[in-house]
Amino acid sequence: MEAAALQRGQLEALRDVIERGLSDILPDPGDPPHRLHAAMRYAVLSPGKRIRPLLALLSAGHLGCPPGAALPGACALELVHAASLVLDDLPCMDDSDARRGQPTVHVRYGEDVAVLTGVALLNEAFAVLGRANHIPEASRLAMVSLLARTVGTSGLIGGQDKDLRGSVEPSLGFVSQLHHEKTGVLFIASVEMGALAAGADATVLEALRAFGKELGLAFQALDDLADGEEDKASVNLLSVLGRDGLRDEAGRRLERAKAALADGAPQLVPLASYVDLLLRPAAA
């Protein structure tokens, strides 16, 4: 079997583990509050590539940690990601009617339920880590702190605020920082979360942070390229760089991501071989 086919099979197996884990974590809509629980499952279990939890399980696995041991951190990240999408889609934010080919949560369940869904998913993400008693206390505390930084005003929340406020003439630096806060921080958290579950040392964590940062920016560049709309009213890299420049930017970021592992954690270089399968085409 060729290497790519083998890797695709491995990713599908890990994706199944993630889907089962998420389904087990989320509350039963048969239990009250029924509508809120149904909305939580709808938001999380709608079709997605699960890139972020896959990165967590892959980084853990390449450090000798089995999927089951790293699953709480991986699922916590996907809950945060789903919460961010629910809240970003609200009329007062990005005002999106569709997500992953389906009506957004506020369209299907109402704005009130959507707000509660986002908050409930964020709450559950921390609860998942709190219940992960098989993880050493110091590592679990580090994972909780990582999740809090990722969500906070220097991460997803700050990025959304920056996006809402915008810039008169967005520069490459402004858009890259925006993408780092709205997208990159979750990629960093994904590989770091898996490494923390595996008990990685500071050198490995530093290399993975650099890898995750570049990978997140590459993902967003590819996502903007796939959208293919050079809209001057939108804050995206396509508007700043144009199609050719954006393609070059994505390539540079991917090379930097791979170099970060080669330079700082050579034992994790095989992790980079999954990048193309995970990111092409980019999808949430």
Dist. CA 151–CA 82, nearest whole Å = 12
pLDDT, position 229: 56
* pLDDT (tens digit per residue) in 165-178: 876 567 778 888 88
**Half-sphere exposure (CA, 13 Å, Cβ side) for 228?**
2
CA end-to-end span of the chain = 29
Closest CA to 63 of 192, 189, 187, 185: 192
Q: What is the pLDDT of residue 35?
A: 98
Distance (Å, whole) CA 145 – CA 151:
10
pLDDT digit string (tens) for the chain, length 284 residues: 577 888 999 999 999 999 999 999 999 999 999 999 999 999 999 999 999 999 999 999 999 999 999 999 999 999 999 999 999 999 999 899 999 889 999 999 999 999 999 999 999 999 999 999 999 999 999 999 999 999 999 999 999 998 888 765 677 788 888 888 888 999 999 999 999 999 999 999 999 999 999 999 999 888 888 776 544 455 677 767 778 888 888 899 999 999 999 999 999 999 999 988 888 654 44
- The CATH architecture of the domain made up of 3-279 is Orthogonal Bundle (1.10)
pLDDT, residue 99, reads 93
b/e map 185-204, b = 16+ CB within 10 Å: bbbbbbbbbbbbbbebeeeb
In three-state secondary structure terms, 98 is strand
Distance CA 83, CA 123 (A): 10
CA distances from 95 to 13, 50, 85, 87, 175 (A): 35, 23, 11, 10, 20
Which residue ranges make up each domain of the chain?
A: 3-279
**For position 280, what pLDDT does the model report?**
65
Half-sphere exposure of 60 (CA within 13 A, CB side): 25
Residue 231, pLDDT score: 47
Residue 15: what pLDDT? 97
Task: Encode pLDDT of 109-123 as tens digits.
Answer: 999 999 999 999 999
User: Hey, CA dihedral for 99, 102, 103, 109, is it positive or negative?
Assistant: negative
